[in-house]
Amino acid sequence: MLGSLQRWFGRRAGAAVSGVDAWPELADWAAQRGLTLRPARGVAGFAIDGGTATQPWRLEWGPSQRSYVEGAELRLRAEVRVPGDLQAMVVDRELQARMERAIFDQFVESVQTRIDNQTPPEMRWLVMCQKLGGAELGPLRDRFGAVCNARAWMQRWIDGPLATALARAPLAEGQPMVLMVARGRLTLRTALGNPEPALLKDWVSIFQTAAAETRRVSPPAAAAAPSTQPSLWSPSQMAADEPPR
């Protein structure tokens, strides 16, 4: 999808963003393909809305919103028609180990309230949800862990095309990645210092596979019309990634 941005990114990587006028070539490229580009307000970054009428998605690149991601972060999000209380997460093994150590340290320091109220849901899920074993993870077990509150659904989700896509994820050593379903929303987060077109294309492909597999394994669920609004850059929107309490 994003292959034609290569020359543009070669000239624009690292440029400051101050509005639509700062992204004329990308804006033209998006308009020609029926996509919507929105520069981030007040920060270096951008958003691209894509997908279809029945499955829109949003790609964002900009400052990280999670403490476990240093520097710039790539975010992809789409509304998916799944039960609203479904909670499922795939996380790279190194990040899983780091978050589990952080949780343990917080308990040792007797600050359980922080774990409930101030840690991201990704960390809480490692304590609250069921973990899949190595046999259930199959070919993903060396690179990823998985937790969920619906074990059978999770096994169907990561089996087949999604397992193949994740196994090919372009993760560098120490690069965090989280793919999660919460409150009817599919979200992928990973660190990405330089949004090279080839990498963006790979991550979009993984995300689209995850969305397709979510639809395949999920029964119809009553939900509002698909939407990716508002922007993930809004600090208040971080609460939307929270699991139901």
pLDDT, tens digit, 9 for 90 and up, residues 206-236? 999 999 999 999 865 433 344 444 444 443 3
pTM for this entry: 0.76
CB 56 within 8 A of CB 226: yes
3-state secondary structure of 229: coil
116 — pLDDT class (breaks 50, 70, 90): low
> What average pLDDT does the chain have?
77
Distance CA 208, CA 206 (A): 6
| Residue 167: both structure tokens together | 């196994």
Residue appearing with tokens 């096994």: 155
Phi, psi of 40 (to 5 degrees): -70, 145
Q: Is pLDDT larger for residue 31 or for residue 154?
A: 154
Helices (H), 33-150: 93-108, 112-117, 121-128, 134-137
Q: In Å, what is the CA distance from 115 to each residue of 67, 68, 241?
A: 14, 15, 16
CB 223 within 8 A of CB 81: yes
pLDDT, tens digit, 9 for 90 and up, residues 5-53? 434 333 344 334 345 555 565 566 567 667 777 888 877 788 988 877 7
Report the length, in residues, of the chain. 245
